[in-house]
């Protein structure tokens, strides 16, 4: 057998990682993780139930909030099995197919979450900068179409990732540094040229999260300009107060993005299990 073949990683599994050096207390570590996931799932489910049953909440802002809640639920469900498997049962193995499927859902949902934050920024922009046309601009059909477009965009740009990874032969260490699969980690284990994957990962980041954050920033520039032009200070503060909860959610989401992006610019970052919609509802209040 040749030396090249000896280096090929033929086992069809990856090994996930919990907290290194803390394996003996993984069970106790699982308790706060379980609590966090239960709160996230129950909290988002309650949001959806309240919005569905209360006709007063069938406004664009709360419809976008329900979209974000569904996305948060998807992220929690996508990451929970492998994280809980490690901490509760010390089950670290994940097959190639399961790993590729997980990273597809994680990255897709992360991009959808970024898009929902952009739609919420657009909602605040219309409400403050063009309030008289708010009802005519943000109709239910238009909201549904915008949501569908952003969901399809996210799925379309992430869809090639599993196939780009599947063409590789893996010859490096098969141990991932997270408790779930991410594109940037899996591609680095390939013994082939990963230039295409790196460029495509950067392209996805700029096309989706990059553009979303730019448009959110521009929306708030226009919102701030409009609010400051209001003669009454009380009305100005009231208008800006409607944006506080969304700004908190945006800052929380993108601060996590930036902190992860420092590790590697050639990937689509993710913050699994973070319930931004529940946080937003708590801040927003009645």
What is residue 163's predicted lDDT score, i.e. its pLDDT? 92
Q: What is the pLDDT of residues 144-187, one digit of tens each?
A: 999 999 999 999 999 999 999 988 888 766 888 888 898 888 88
Q: Band the pLDDT of 258: cuts 50, 70, 90.
A: low
Tokens 């090639």 correspond to: 160
Enumerate the domain spans of the chain. 13-283
What's residue 29's pLDDT?
82
pLDDT at 106: 92
Inter-residue contact 46 to 209 (CB < 8 Å): no
State pTM to two decimals: 0.83
Give residue for tokens 């090994």. 15
Q: What is 13-283's CATH number?
A: 1.20.1070.10
Q: How far is CA 86 from the centre of its chain?
A: 22
**CA separation (Å) from 61 to 87, 113, 140, 243, 274?**
38, 15, 11, 11, 20
Q: Is the pLDDT of residue 140 over 60?
A: yes
The beta-strand segments (E) located in the chain are 13-15, 93-95
Task: Give me the mean pLDDT over the 209-227 stretch.
Answer: 90
HEC sequence for 192-225: CCCHHHHHHHHHHHHHHHHHHHHHHHHHHHHHHH
In contact, 129 and 137? CB cutoff 8 Å: no
Q: With beta carbons less than 8 A apart as the criterion, state whether 252 and 276 touch.
A: yes
pLDDT of residue 156: 95
């Amino acid at each position: 057998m040749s030396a090249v073949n000896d280096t090929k990683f033929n086992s069809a599994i990856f090994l996930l990682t919990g907290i290194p050096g803390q394996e003996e207390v993984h069970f106790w570590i699982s308790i706060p993780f379980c609590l966090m996931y239960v709160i996230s799932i129950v909290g988002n489910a309650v949001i959806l139930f309240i919005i569905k049953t209360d006709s007063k909440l069938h406004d664009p802002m709360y419809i976008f909030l329900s979209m974000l809640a569904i996305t948060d639920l998807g992220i929690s469900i996508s990451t929970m099995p492998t994280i809980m498997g490690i901490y509760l049962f010390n089950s670290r193995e994940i097959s190639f197919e399961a790993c590729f499927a997980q990273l597809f859902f994680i990255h897709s949902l992360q991009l959808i979450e970024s898009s929902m934050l952009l739609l919420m920024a657009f909602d605040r922009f219309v409400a403050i900068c063009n309030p008289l046309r708010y009802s005519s601009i943000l109709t239910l059909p238009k909201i549904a179409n915008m949501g569908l477009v952003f969901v399809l965009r996210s799925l379309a740009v992430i869809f090639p990732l599993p196939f780009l990874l599947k063409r590789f032969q893996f010859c490096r260490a098969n141990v991932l540094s997270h408790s779930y699969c991410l594109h940037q980690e899996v591609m680095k284990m390939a013994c082939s040229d990963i230039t295409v994957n790196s460029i495509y990962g950067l392209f996805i980041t700029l096309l989706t999260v990059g553009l979303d954050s730019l448009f959110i920033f521009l929306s708030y520039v226009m919102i701030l300009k409009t609010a400051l032009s209001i003669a009454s200070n009380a009305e100005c503060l009231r208008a800006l107060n409607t944006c506080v909860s969304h700004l908190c959610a945006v800052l929380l989401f993108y601060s996590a993005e930036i902190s992860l992006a420092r590790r590697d610019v050639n990937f689509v970052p993710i913050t699994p299990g973070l319930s931004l919609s529940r946080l937003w509802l708590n801040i927003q209040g009645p």
